[in-house]
Amino acid sequence: MEYARLGNSGLKVSRACLGTMNFGPPGGVGVGSCDEAEARRIVDAFTGSGHNFIDTADAYTGGQSEHIIGRAIKGQRETVVLATKAFLPQGSGANERGLSRVHLTRALEASLRRLGTDYIDLYQCHQWDPDTPIEETMATLDGFVRSGKVRYIGCSNFTATQIVEAQWAAARVGGTPFISLQPQYSLLVRSIEEEILPACERHGLGTLVWSPLGGGILTGRYARGTAPETYSRVGRLLASSSPLARAWAQDLLAERNLYIADEVAEIATALGSTSVAVALAWVRQRRGVTSVAIGPRTVNQLTGNLVGFTLDLPAEAVARLDDASSAAPRH
Ligand SMILES: NC(=O)c1ccc[n+]([C@@H]2O[C@H](COP(=O)([O-])OP(=O)(O)OC[C@H]3O[C@@H](n4cnc5c(N)ncnc54)[C@H](OP(=O)(O)O)[C@@H]3O)[C@@H](O)[C@H]2O)c1
């Protein structure tokens, strides 16, 4: 099993991280639909094959993802690197969201309770909070580390500027710096390459990248002119009563995305592999990627995903994928 150091720290994580946004019934942020029995089989298969990194968030499936993981890792807590996040609303009150001292302190206690543990290995800010001074956030997180309730801290969805501001603020308050960023990254979304990955490298952050299969588009299972299966992520989004969810599904099915999925499928056929493995191997092999947050909904999907962590793409395949997915040049 290959482990990598996460950013400028001594923490070693598997190159595959188990993302758990699918765990539990739909609710809160997250897709949901993987029941607890299947979720526990996924966790056991994942850790049983030597992987150690598991990611969740307080907002996933209304807290159910954290509850399920807490029960699933009982007995193996010391070998699991457990990551969770805070920021998103936990109620309608003015102080029930964001990165303020008052909210983060309550959010951490609630996550510890749901996860049934007395420490979090990696506590992440789910996104930037424009309403809280970053010094307050970094000083609060430093207090968590000093208390022993949190071992390392990270952020998610920050811009390059926000990463630099946070690291400088940590230095100003004499606090703990971030060791990781959790950004979106796949053959469909490569915007972090220009400024965010270089900022991470320069400021000591490793990366845990999310939606490596573009929410399932890169698996090749969505064909033009054919309605998505009703139980699939896109099928569920299209059937949602939320206009935002339906718009997200339409974005995912954009012609550019389907074209890239076709290229992935052709390369997979030529290599005698699968689209899932090829798309994940491309992300894993990118410079600056420490770990890849996969999001299996079933044990079979997990097994298919893990092939992408042993497949080494030949240079010609990487070049063809780079070309098919590159953005238009900017001047
Ligand atoms: N920090 C953030 O803001 C943020 C945001 C999003 C996600 N994340 C993290 O990243 C993790 C992964 O994100 P993601 O779920 O969007 O990842 P993804 O790998 O891009 O998409 C996962 C979906 O792909 C499909 N899939 C996976 N393996 C498959 C296989 N072998 N065959 C066919 N289909 C397969 C499944 O769709 P179906 O359900 O349709 O079967 C699954 O739900 C999350 O669990 C979460 O931990 C973080």
pLDDT for 153-207, tens place per residue? 999 999 999 999 999 999 999 999 999 999 999 999 999 999 999 999 999 999 9
pLDDT of residue 327: 76
Q: Is the pTM above the cut of 0.95?
A: yes
Instruction: Report the alpha-carbon distance of residue 287 to residue 193 in Å, rounded.
Output: 9
Burial of 131 (0-12, 13-18, 19+ CB in 10 A): exposed
Q: Among residues of the chain, what percentage have pLDDT more than 70?
A: 97
Whether residue 221 has its Cβ less than 6 Å from ligand 1: yes
CA-closest residue to ligand 1 atom 26: 216
Whether residue 124 has its Cβ less than 6 Å from ligand 1: no
Pocket probe mutation, ligand 1, options 18, 20, 21, max atoms within 8 Å of Cβ: 21
Whether residue 210 has its Cβ less than 6 Å from ligand 1: yes
Domains (ranges, CATH) in the chain?
3-325 (3.20.20.100)
Helix (H) or strand (E) holding 150: strand 150-156
CA-closest residue to ligand 1 atom 11: 19
CA-closest residue to ligand 1 atom 19: 213
Q: How far does residue 99's CA lie from ligand 1's centre (Å)?
A: 26
pLDDT tens digits, one per residue of 131-149 = 999 999 999 999 999 999 9
pLDDT tens digits, one per residue of 159-170 = 999 999 999 999
Instruction: Report the alpha-carbon distance of residue 117 to residue 110 in Å, rounded.
Output: 11
CA-closest residue to ligand 1 atom 44: 19
Provide the terminal-to-terminal Cα distance of the chain, rounded to the nearest Å.
Answer: 42
Tokens 């056929």 correspond to 269
Residues forming the active site: 60
Beta-bridged to residue 197, according to DSSP, are: none
Whether residue 66 has its Cβ less than 6 Å from ligand 1: no
Taking the CA of residue 212 as reference, the ligand 1 atom at the shortest distance is 20
Q: How far does residue 22's CA lie from ligand 1's centre (Å)?
A: 8
Whether residue 58 has its Cβ less than 6 Å from ligand 1: no
pLDDT averaged over every residue in the chain:
95
